Structure formats: C-alpha cells, structure tokens
Amino acid sequence: MGVSFDKIDGDMLLKFDVRPSANPTSEKDRTAKLADPGFGRVFTDHMAVVRYSQAKGWHDARVESRANFALDPATAVLHYAQEIFEGLKAYKRDDGGVNLFRPDANARRFRNSADRMAMAPLPESVFIDAVEQLVRIDRAWMPGGEGSLYMRPFMIANEVFLGVKPSAEYIFAVIASPVGSYFKGGPAPVSIWVSENYTRAAIGGTGAVKCGGNYAASLRAQAEAIDHGCDQVVFLDAIERRYIEELGGMNVFFVFDDGSLLTPPLGTILPGITRDSIITLAKDSGMRVREETYTIDQWRSDAGSGKLKEAFACGTAAVISPIGTVRSASGDFTINNGAAGTVAMGMRKKLVDIQYGRAADPHNWIRKVL
Ligand SMILES: *Cc1c(COP(=O)(O)O)cnc(C)c1O
C-alpha cells in the first residue's frame, strides 16, 4: 500500500487570495539592494503560500507579505526532514516583459519529488500559478541585465507529531530572490574535488529528487572540496566508486574531440532541466549526445590524451560553468588548459538567449508572465 492523499484533484484550481504588503520596501532601499544582490540573501516583499491537510486537501492559497512561519518545535520537518524544493528563474526581456523558463518541468519534477518523499502531490497548475503570481506582484524586484529573479518553491511537513510517518499536513510556499550573475566575473572555470570519502546517492535512494536532505548530506564533502582549494565537489557512484555522477547541485557534461557530448545517465542523479535542455539543443544542432557512464579514470586519461576537449557543469543557478581543474587524493589534472571551452560557452549563450527572449524558442520553453 502506498501513501494515499484523498483530496487531490488533478485539475484542481485554487484561487489565490492576493494581499499586497502594507509596508513594502521603499524604492530607495530596493534599488540599493538590487545594485549588488549576490545570490540568495536578498528577498522580495511577498511570498505565495498554500496549505494542505488531510481533511481539507490543498486550501488557503495566498499571496501575502513575506513573513516568518510559526512552527511548533515538534513540527515533523524539523526532525525527519520531509522537505522538497525547486529552483527556477524569471528573466527580464528587453521589451520589459518577464519570461519563465520551462516552469511546467519544475512543476512536474516537484510532483515526482513529493511522491518519492511520501508528501501530498501539488497540482502542477497550482505550482505554476503560485510562481507566476509572485513574479507579478514583485515585478519591481526584477533585476535587469544578466540578473534574474530566482524563484524558490518548497514544501515542508507541518504536522506536529514526533512519530515517524508521512505528515498529514504540509505547507507549500514560494519565495523570490533577485540574483546577479551567479559566479562573480562571469563563468570562470571552476576547480572540482573528487569525493572519495563520501557519496551522494544510491540506487533506490533519493538522489533523483530535489530534497533538502540530499544537500545536508553533501555539505561535508563540499567542505572537503573547499579545504583542498576547490570550488565544488564531484560525486562518484556509491557501488563501484568510479562512475561520475554529478556535482553537489549541478549535472556534468563532457565534450570530446569528435564533437560529441557525454553526460551520465539518469537514475541516481538529479534530472536537471538545464541538462535536458542542453541535450535537446545539442541534438538540434546535429551533435551526437550520449547518456552513458564515464569513469574518473577514463576522464583523467582522456584529459591527458587530448581526447577530452571540455567538461562543464550545468544547473539553473549558474547555467553553465566550465570545469578547469580536477583534484583528487590520487592527483590533479586540467582540462582545456584550465580555460573555458567554446562548446560550453556557445551552449551557455544559446540557452541564455532563449531564456531572455533574445532568440527563437523552437521547443516552447518560454512562458511569458508579463
Ligand atoms: C537542482 C539540481 C540540479 C540542476 O537542475 P536544474 O533543473 O538544471 O536546475 C542538479 N543537481 C542537483 C543535485 C540539483 O539539486
């Protein structure tokens, strides 16, 4: 028997009660904050919130002033980490309008994450509506240029109970954070540390879903990467400890001298929307793309022989980050002499141009919010 959630209707439409903040941030303070927002520390004035209980299903949908949640110390999420999240961005077009990029894919992944974590599934229409409403009410917070508004939908188990079971109550919320370019100084190549002591995901585990617990478990490995002078950590598979999986929060691609691309197959990795978009765009342009396993030893030897031309990481926050150096306990190697590669940079431009509405959108990925 699975977990059952009776009150979910796939086509359910919830109407959001929109209550604009009575004392929004002044234009002067907002302008100052938008001048150099960095990543994830500046927030807009509002949030979207929807509640779930077994008795009422999803209810009480609101867009309201961003505020603290009142949580009982025995709230389930604080103890057993029944929590999932998403990350997507709103982009300002040159004509002043605003684009979302593939929000339907985030909504679907959120439902899959909820299913794996035995949480109440949120109708995809409610997810998208919540994101769109928040973008609209906080449109004054949209950065221009290469900035964007990072949207963070998430869901927490809200039942007050210390027993171990799926919660009977949930809070779904969306907050928004204006961000500048993710890596200061543009997409400079990153150095990555090969984690040999820690793994991220095993078959049957939660590697393929976006849950906070995966991140909690990755922090020690990330700290080890920093200790070794690296920007990020790359994880290997949990069984043979040699197949490349992904970084703590980004998928990886390899570019070969025959012009082909390789990326690790789905399974224990997070099915990135950026990953999927890159595969599609690469195939559009006639490149061969393989979703195949690749070992750390092969990576090292291909980098040495020149068969491997480039490697890059990808995800919504940073789009594409070239990988310049790989470090591990058994030695270091560089890729493309530590410089950003043309395939990575070309792919980055292609994606970003679609996101900001500067290029054609042949796959209908863009959803205009404003
Ligand atoms: C979110 C995430 C990614 C990237 O997914 P996108 O949909 O491209 O943003 C990759 N790996 C992990 C572990 C993630 O959590």
Atom of ligand 1 nearest to the CA of 86: 1
Residue 24 CB–ligand 1 contact under 6 Å? no
**pLDDT of res. 197:** 93
Mean pLDDT of 81-109: 98
220 and 246, same structural domain? yes
In a domain? residue 185: no
- Tell me: pLDDT of 8 over 90: no
Q: Return the beta strands (E) in the chain as ranges.
A: 17-18, 46-53, 57-65, 83-85, 88-92, 98-101, 148-157, 169-179, 190-195, 232-236, 244-247, 251-256, 261-263, 289-291, 308-315, 319-328, 331-334, 366-368
194 and 156, same structural domain? no
Mean pLDDT of 324-347: 95
Tally Cβ neighbours within 10 Å of residue 137. 23
Q: Who's near 268: CB < 8 A, 6+ residues apart?
A: 200, 201, 202, 203, 205, 207, 208, 237, 238, 245
In a domain? residue 364: no
In a domain? residue 167: yes
Residue 223: Cβ-neighbour burial (10 angstroms; 0-12, 13-18, 19+):
exposed
97 and 206, same structural domain? no
Tell me which residue has its CA closest to atom 5 in ligand 1.
272
User: Which of 155, 179, 203 marks a domain boundary?
Assistant: 179
Going from the Cα of 315 to the center of ligand 1, the distance in angstroms, rounded, reads 5
111 and 155, same structural domain? yes
Cα(349)–Cα(97) distance, rounded to whole angstroms? 20
Cα(279)–Cα(289) distance, rounded to whole angstroms? 7
Q: What tokens appear for 213 in the block?
A: 């617990």
8 A C-beta contact, residue 367 and residue 103: yes
Residue of 150, 316, 319, 352 to mutate, ligand 1, most atoms within 8 A of C-beta: 316
Atom of ligand 1 nearest to the CA of 316: 9
Higher pLDDT, 47 or 36: 47
User: Which of 179, 200, 220 marks a domain boundary?
Assistant: 179
**pLDDT of res. 5:** 67
325 and 256, same structural domain? yes
**pLDDT of res. 145:** 87
- Tell me: pLDDT of 2 over 50: no
172 and 271, same structural domain? no
User: Which of 149, 179, 209 marks a domain boundary?
Assistant: 179
Distance of CA 204 to the CA centre of its chain: 21
Cα(272)–Cα(265) distance, rounded to whole angstroms? 11
- CATH code for the domain in which residue 221 is found: 3.20.10.10
8 A C-beta contact, residue 360 and residue 89: no
Mean pLDDT of 231-241: 97
196 and 168, same structural domain? no
Tell me which residue has its CA closest to atom 12 in ligand 1.
249
DSSP 138: T
- Tell me: pLDDT of 184 over 70: no
Residue 251 CB–ligand 1 contact under 6 Å? yes
Residue 263 CB–ligand 1 contact under 6 Å? no
Mean pLDDT of 88-105: 97
Q: What tokens appear for 78 in the block?
A: 């604080």
**pLDDT of res. 187:** 80
Mean pLDDT of 159-187: 89
195 and 174, same structural domain? no
pLDDT by residue (tens digit) across 109-161?
999 999 999 999 999 999 999 999 999 999 999 998 889 999 999 999 999 99
In a domain? residue 363: no
- CATH code for the domain in which residue 162 is found: 3.30.470.10
Going from the Cα of 272 to the center of ligand 1, the distance in angstroms, rounded, reads 5
Range of the domain at 75: 5-179
8 A C-beta contact, residue 129 and residue 42: no
**pLDDT of res. 4:** 61
**pLDDT of res. 353:** 97
Residue 273 CB–ligand 1 contact under 6 Å? yes
Going from the Cα of 55 to the center of ligand 1, the distance in angstroms, rounded, reads 33
Atom of ligand 1 nearest to the CA of 200: 13
Number of domains in the chain: 2
In a domain? residue 366: no
318 and 199, same structural domain? yes
Question: Which secondary-structure segment (H or E) carries 281?
Answer: helix 273-284
Atom of ligand 1 nearest to the CA of 315: 8
**pLDDT of res. 182:** 58
Task: Please report which confidence band the pLDDT of residue 82 belongs to, taking 50, 70 and 90 as the band edges.
Answer: very high
- Tell me: pLDDT of 186 over 80: no
pLDDT by residue (tens digit) across 268-324?
999 999 999 999 999 999 999 999 999 999 999 999 999 999 999 999 999 999 999
Indicate the average pLDDT of the chain: 95
User: What is the share, in percent, of the chain residues with pLDDT greater than 90?
Assistant: 92
DSSP helix/strand/coil, 146: coil
- Tell me: pLDDT of 11 over 80: no
229 and 261, same structural domain? yes
In a domain? residue 365: no
Cα(253)–Cα(1) distance, rounded to whole angstroms? 39
Task: Tally the C-alpha atoms within 13 A of residue 31's C-alpha that lie toward its C-beta.
Answer: 3
In a domain? residue 362: no
234 and 132, same structural domain? no
**pLDDT of res. 144:** 86
pLDDT by residue (tens digit) across 192-229?
999 999 999 999 999 999 999 999 999 999 999 999 99
Cα(293)–Cα(265) distance, rounded to whole angstroms? 6
Residue 322 CB–ligand 1 contact under 6 Å? no
194 and 140, same structural domain? no
**pLDDT of res. 142:** 97
Q: Which residue has the tokens 């082909």?
A: 260
Task: Please report which confidence band the pLDDT of residue 238 belongs to, taking 50, 70 and 90 as the band edges.
Answer: very high
**pLDDT of res. 1:** 38
